[in-house]
Copies of this chain bind each other. A is one copy, B any other.
Amino acid sequence: MEAESGNKKFSLVELIRKIDVLPYAHEVNRYGLFEKSTYKFLAHDGTLIGYMLPLVAERFKEHSDCVSVDEVARTVAIIPALDTIESRNLKFKEIAEAWRSMNTFNILKGWRNELYVVYNPSHTPYLLVERAFSMLLGVITYGVHINGYIPPELSEDGKLKLWVPRRSYQKPTYPGMLDNTVAGGMGYPYGVFETCVKECYEEAGLDEAYVRENIKQNGVISYIYQHEPEVYNNEFGLIQPEVEFIFDLVMKPEKIPKPTDNEVQEFYLMGIDEVLTRLANGEFKYNCAGVIIDFLIRHGYLTIGMELEYLEIVNRIHRRLPFPSI
């Protein structure tokens, strides 16, 4: 589909390909390169829980009291002795802190003092690790993304409007880019809905009672991100499987989102045409573009008749991840 802007940079499917980057098994050559260039990260019972780059596996060899690295099988496996979550948390905490203090990896400069959860096949926590460190392990990370919108029937001109924030220019990641109304990572011990309520207050000043009354969970998106496609020999190739729970929040016209933390610069109220133009211009943080494209599809604003790559778009943002999950 065409956005209105003359200097369109991205088609919608191109935006989606920016977040769902890892090749699929049917892309035989690229998938083969991925398989032979990476390590499988395994739980102590052999369950696959992540994809790790060789530069990370290499450093893990120094920690045989935590994992065993097999260069033939290309696996990094948590040792059987670590059969309790407490013992695993402790070992990975030690390693994370050591690597942080030694500046082993650039990504650890983004240390957040926030724990992320890796799950068992039974959907219970298997391991808690520092958010920045989880990126090195190639495990699934979770977030919530909320579309705050004025539905057509409540809108002055009868057209749906989305509340779109601009990220603070001071944010370390994606400063000044457009974002979803509210979004945040799922840090331990918050559940999906608790994270929602917390972030709605912090990022948009919305109180819990309003959120509870007007929000619905309408789906989930998932994809496997790499900053640079087919790079397996430096940190730009870190493999990041992501799951984002999607909520739609009805915004009454009189309800104006107001940032209460410093993460948002400003909120804009945009119609669909403006959203499409700004998507095409590449103004949205890429995974937020994915969330908005999913919103447009679910609400009937983007159809097979308008977008030739419709099926690829829908499929890529609902990728089946080969790991246990929440």
Interfacial residues, chain A to chain B (CB-CB below 8 A): 24-26, 31, 48, 123, 191-193, 216-220, 222, 243, 245, 248, 297-300, 303-305, 308, 310-312, 314-316, 318-322, 325-326
A314 touches B220 (CB 8 A): yes
29 A–B contacts, CB within 8 A, in A order = A24-B25, A24-B322, A25-B25, A26-B48, A26-B322, A192-B305, A216-B299, A216-B300, A217-B300, A217-B304, A218-B300, A219-B298, A219-B314, A220-B304, A220-B311, A222-B311, A222-B315, A248-B300, A304-B326, A311-B321, A311-B325, A311-B326, A312-B320, A314-B318, A315-B318, A315-B319, A315-B320, A315-B321, A319-B320
CB neighbours (8 Å) of A222 from chain B are: 311, 314-315
CB neighbours (8 Å) of A26 from chain B are: 48, 322
CB neighbours (8 Å) of A299 from chain B are: 216, 218
A311 touches B243 (CB 8 A): yes
CB neighbours (8 Å) of A218 from chain B are: 297-300
Q: A311-B326, A320-B24, A322-B26 are in contact. Are A298 and B298 (CB under 8 A)?
A: yes
CB neighbours (8 Å) of A303 from chain B are: 217
CB neighbours (8 Å) of A321 from chain B are: 311, 315
Docked CA distance A216–B243 (Å): 27
CB neighbours (8 Å) of A123 from chain B are: 308
Shortest beta-carbon distance, A319 to chain B, in Å? Answer: 7
CB neighbours (8 Å) of A319 from chain B are: 315, 320
Docked CA distance A304–B314 (Å): 20
List the 7 closest A-B pairs by CB distance, nearest first: A216-B300, A26-B322, A25-B25, A318-B318, A315-B320, A217-B303, A311-B325
CB neighbours (8 Å) of A243 from chain B are: 311
CB neighbours (8 Å) of A325 from chain B are: 311
Docked CA distance A245–B322 (Å): 26
Shortest beta-carbon distance, A306 to chain B, in Å? Answer: 9
Nearest residue (CB) in B for A192 is B304
CB neighbours (8 Å) of A24 from chain B are: 25, 320, 322
CB neighbours (8 Å) of A248 from chain B are: 300
Q: Which of B191, B304, B308, B315 is the one whose CB lies under 8 Å from A245?
A: B304
Docked CA distance A300–B246 (Å): 10
